[in-house]
């Protein structure tokens, strides 16, 4: 079940780098923008501590959010987040308005389950993840919080592709809509270097014994 997030914001009219710097320095707020939905872009300001707290939850990055400005509310998704290059601070946030009748494109986290007990890992394999998120297309009501990849039957040297994902009803993978040649690998199971080295050493010892 999708989570519900609410973020308090203030509408603002002042624009420009100077205004943004004042927000960050004097008020501990950050500038943001809300756009899309057939309306004009609306500059906003957000309490820095509040958004930092919300960002601790993985789902905040992909789920539908409610922006609350006084008595007004608006449904959006987070489209872009700018961070300070070396300080633990957010410097700007972009939000896109959503419509209940229009499909949206957004990135959803992948959760890999049953890895430790799969045949490939039991045989000494190591799971490598090529992707941790995928871009999906769906109506807002069908937006999943995450997508599970069940690795229970994964064998050694096997590859899990995008087409192997069991998608929730009403949700499509954007990458696969471009054609079969976009069916990329999202996870693989191969023996780790240590295990490969041990196997090679054993093979060498067996060959020496035979000689």
Q: How many structural domains compose the chain?
A: 2
CATH code for the domain in which residue 39 is found: 2.40.240.10
Same domain, 94 and 109: no
Distance CA 7, CA 51 (A): 7
Span 150-197, pLDDT tens digits: 999 999 999 999 999 999 999 999 999 998 899 999 999 998 765 555
C-beta of residue 185 within 8 angstroms of C-beta of residue 130: yes
Structural domain boundaries enclosing 178? 105-197
Query: Who wins on pLDDT, 111 or 17?
Result: 111
Does 133 lie in the same domain as 70? Answer: no
Q: Answer yes or no: is 161 within a domain.
A: yes
Torsion sign, CA atoms 169, 171, 177, 180: negative
The 10s digit of each residue's pLDDT in 21-64 is 666 666 688 999 999 988 999 999 999 999 999 999 999 999 99
Placement of tokens 């006084």 in the chain: 70
Residues above pLDDT 90, as percent of the chain: 75
Contact between 153 and 117 under an 8 Å Cβ cutoff? The reply is no
Residue 208 forms part of a structural domain: no
* In a domain? residue 206: no
pLDDT confidence of residue 198: 55
In this structure, are 75 and 151 located in the same domain? no
> What element of type H or E holds 20?
helix 17-26
3-state DSSP assignment of residue 164? helix
């Amino acid at each position: 079940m999708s989570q519900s997030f609410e973020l308090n914001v203030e509408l603002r009219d002042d624009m420009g780098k100077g205004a943004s710097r004042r927000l960050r320095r004097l008020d501990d707020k950050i500038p943001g923008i809300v756009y899309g939905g057939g309306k004009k872009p609306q500059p906003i300001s957000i309490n820095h501590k509040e958004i930092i707290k919300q960002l601790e939850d993985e789902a905040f990055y992909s789920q539908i959010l409610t922006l609350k400005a006084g008595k007004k509310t608006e449904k959006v998704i987070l489209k872009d987040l700018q961070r300070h290059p070396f300080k633990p601070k957010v410097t700007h946030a972009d939000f896109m308005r959503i419509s209940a009748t229009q499909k949206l494109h957004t990135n959803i986290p992948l959760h890999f389950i049953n890895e430790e007990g799969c045949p490939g890992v039991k045989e000494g394999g190591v799971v490598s993840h090529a992707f941790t998120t995928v871009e999906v297309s769906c109506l807002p009501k069908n937006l999943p919080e995450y997508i599970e990849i069940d690795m229970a039957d994964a064998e050694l040297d096997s590859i899990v592709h995008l087409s192997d994902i069991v998608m929730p009803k009403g949700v499509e993978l954007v990458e696969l809509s471009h054609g079969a040649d976009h069916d990329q690998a999202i996870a693989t199971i191969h023996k780790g270097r240590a295990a490969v080295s041990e196997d090679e050493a054993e093979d060498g010892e067996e060959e020496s014994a035979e000689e």
